[in-house]
């Protein structure tokens, strides 16, 4: 009798009584779950459950395995019969398998220390919220979630469960660029930044699609191995189509965050953190080729305006994506990936034929160029780089990659470098940019109230559509 009362009290406190009745296999062992995982001793491993084991999720599994710090206790994927899951399943044939993360937590919850979430953007939120509520450390791929409000709730949940470790999967945040940017900022080499150009101009899955579509793709037969209901998660129901799954989800406003959400976290993450950018006050759509209500434009240019922060000046970040939407670069940029046959743009700047994903950072005295992920910055032009060489600080080496950093943090040995408190506002910047893309309009945003003040429809999109019936419980912190 006492056990039943304790269980009902737990469900009431977490706002999940409805979930328990709707999904009888959830929470069966809830009274056994600890709200905090004790610090492990050196030499121990973290009992890790991986949710999403194909494509990027599968890559994450292998990366966690290589650290030597993970003991896999459960694998979960909505399509265990898909070709992209086979490599993981063949390598780890004895790990228990699940299609429904809720069933996994019910059956295996008391054996799980932490979860790694490598599923489509729209599915990050519910899994993360359930895991935190059950006292599990969380590693979730970037961006944290699809909507501004979902990210906000994830940050609140992480703050509530403050003894739990969180990490967003922008892997470069544990590599050379992270430590270089921090060292340069601390030494005053990077200061008075006023503008950043961020660019990702490679082909994307939706490039070449019919931008005149009037509806979503027609229904197709659901593969027998796929649980389409779980795949849809919190989103309003759609008929299955192959162009929604296996990476294609990134193309659609309903499921993913396009090129910005995919690559932004690998390009502007260090600038966002170490320049204390926070949230923008304006998001301006300067270009949206092939705009339509369903999937992302063929090319986008988005201007984000960030206000002053203490003694630091305002910063404009201009994002470029699309094959034919290459940003101009300054004199002295260098010849890498530049076509010398392309004449200068009308403003006198060089217009390259192609650039690798990366950024150009303009400050009062210095200009830096850099790539994506962990690649380091260079001062340009080369003559100025030579003059500055003796003034540059020593950059420490990373003590752990992003995966080892998370697992060591779970064991109390390190702190994560991209916890929700840092990754959340960055993810919200991407969400705001994607809303501007969807509406193809300028948004005025108040960072204090976290409201869009010039567009009622856009303001409603901060929260987005109501969750699908049966998934409402995850929106309670």
CATH number at residue 83: 3.40.50.720
Q: What is the pLDDT of residues 136-193, one digit of tens each?
A: 999 999 999 999 999 999 999 999 999 999 999 999 999 999 999 999 999 999 999 9
Using pLDDT thresholds of 50, 70 and 90, give the confidence band for residue 354. confident
Residue for token pair 């998660």: 233
Residue 327, C-beta contacts closer than 8 angstroms, at least 6 positions apart: 197, 199, 318, 320, 355, 360
Average pLDDT over residues 330-340: 73
pLDDT at 11: 39
Give the length of the chain.
477
Of 434, 437, 455, nearest in space to 446 by CA? 455
**How would residue 338 be classed by pLDDT, with cut points 50, 70 and 90?**
low
Last residue of a domain, one of 173, 199, 216: 173
At 433-443, the pLDDT tens digits run 999 999 999 99
What residues contact residue 46 under an 8 Å CB cut-off, 6+ apart? 40, 69, 70, 71, 113, 114, 137, 407, 410, 411
Domain count, the chain: 2
In a domain, residue 144? The reply is: yes
Whether residue 221 sits in one domain with residue 132: no
pLDDT for residue 334: 84
Q: For the domain that residue 446 is a member of, what is the CATH number?
A: 3.30.360.10
Q: Based on the domain organization, do 305 and 431 belong to the same domain?
A: yes
Q: Look at residues 173, 206, 235 and tell me which one is the last residue of a structural domain.
A: 173
Mean pLDDT of 96-117: 97
Q: Which domain holds residue 60?
A: 2-173
443 in a structural domain: yes
Kindly report the pTM of this predicted structure.
0.89
Same domain flag for 124 and 206: no
Instruction: Answer yes or no: is 413 within a domain.
Output: no
Residue 144 shares a structural domain with residue 287:
no
Residue pair 349/327 in contact by the 8 Å Cβ criterion = no
Asked whether the predicted pLDDT for residue 5 surpasses 70, the reply is no
> What are the backbone dihedrals phi and psi of residue 53, each rounded to the nearest 5 degrees, phi first?
-125, 15
Classify 157 as helix, strand or coil.
helix
Are the C-beta atoms of 352 and 329 separated by less than 8 Å?
Answer: yes
Residue 180 lies in a domain: yes
| 67 and 192, same domain (yes or no) | no
pLDDT at 375: 93
48 phi and psi, to 5 degrees?
-115, 130
- Bridge pairing between strands 315-321 and 358-363: unpaired
pLDDT at 353 over 90: no
Tokens of 399: 């003590």
One domain for residues 194 and 232: yes
Same domain, 97 and 179: no
473 assigned to some structural domain: no
Same domain, 242 and 335: yes
Report whether pLDDT(61) > 70: yes
Give the residue ranges of DSSP H helices in 92-211: 101-108, 124-133, 148-160, 176-186
Task: Using alpha carbons, select from 369, 366, 367, 364 the residue that is nearest to residue 352.
Answer: 369
pLDDT confidence of residue 9? 40
Domain boundary among 173, 201, 217: 173
Same domain, 61 and 179: no
How many Å separate Cα 29 from the centre of its chain? Answer: 31
Summarised one tens digit per residue, pLDDT across range 291-325 is: 999 999 999 999 999 999 999 999 999 999 999 99
């Amino acid at each position: 009798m006492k056990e039943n009362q304790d269980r009902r009290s737990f469900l009431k406190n977490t706002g999940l009584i409805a979930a328990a009745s709707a999904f009888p296999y959830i929470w069966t062992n809830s009274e056994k779950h600890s709200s905090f995982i004790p610090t492990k001793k050196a030499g121990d491993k973290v009992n890790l459950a991986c949710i999403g084991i194909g494509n990027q999720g599968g890559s994450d599994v292998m990366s966690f395995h290589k650290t030597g710090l993970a003991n896999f206790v459960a694998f979960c994927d909505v399509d265990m019969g898909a070709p992209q899951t086979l490599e993981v399943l063949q390598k780890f044939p004895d790990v228990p398998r699940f299609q429904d993360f809720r069933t996994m937590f019910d059956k295996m919850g008391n054996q799980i220390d932490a979860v790694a979430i490598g599923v489509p953007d729209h599915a990050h939120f519910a899994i993360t919220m359930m895991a935190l509520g059950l006292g599990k450390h969380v590693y979730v791929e970037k961006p944290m979630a699809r909507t501004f409000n979902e990210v906000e709730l994830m940050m609140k949940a992480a703050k509530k469960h403050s003894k739990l470790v969180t990490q967003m999967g922008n892997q470069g945040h544990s590599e050379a660029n992270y430590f270089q940017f921090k060292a340069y900022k601390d030494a005053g080499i990077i200061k008075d930044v006023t503008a950043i150009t961020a660019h990702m101009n490679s082909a994307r899955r939706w490039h070449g699609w019919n931008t005149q579509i009037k509806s979503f793709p027609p229904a197709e037969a659901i593969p027998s191995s796929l649980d389409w209901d779980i795949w849809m998660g919190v989103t309003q129901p759609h008929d299955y189509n192959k162009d929604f799954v296996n990476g294609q989800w990134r193309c659609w406003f309903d499921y993913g965050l396009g090129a910005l959400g995919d690559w932004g976290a690998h390009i502007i993450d260090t600038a966002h953190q170490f320049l204390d950018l926070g949230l923008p006050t304006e998001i301006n759509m300067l270009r949206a080729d092939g705009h339509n209500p369903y999937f992302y434009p063929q090319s986008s240019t988005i201007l984000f305006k960030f206000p002053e922060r203490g003694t630091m000046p305002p910063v404009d970040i201009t994002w470029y994506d699309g094959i034919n939407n290459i940003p101009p670069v300054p004199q002295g940029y260098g010849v890498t990936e530049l076509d010398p046959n392309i004449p200068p743009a009308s403003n006198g700047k060089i217009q390259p034929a192609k650039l690798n994903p990366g950024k150009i950072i303009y400050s009062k005295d210095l200009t830096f160029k850099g790539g994506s992920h962990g690649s380091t910055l260079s001062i340009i032009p080369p003559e100025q780089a030579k003059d500055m060489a003796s003034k540059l600080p020593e950059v420490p080496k990373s003590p752990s990659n992003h995966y080892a950093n998370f697992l060591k943090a779970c064991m109390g040995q390190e702190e994560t470098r991209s916890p929700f408190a840092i990754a959340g506002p960055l993810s919200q910047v991407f969400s705001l940019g994607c809303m501007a893309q969807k509406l193809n309009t300028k948004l005025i945003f108040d960072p204090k109230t976290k409201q869009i003040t010039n567009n009622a429809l856009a303001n409603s999109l901060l929260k987005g559509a109501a969750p699908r019936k049966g998934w409402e419980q995850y929106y309670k912190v």
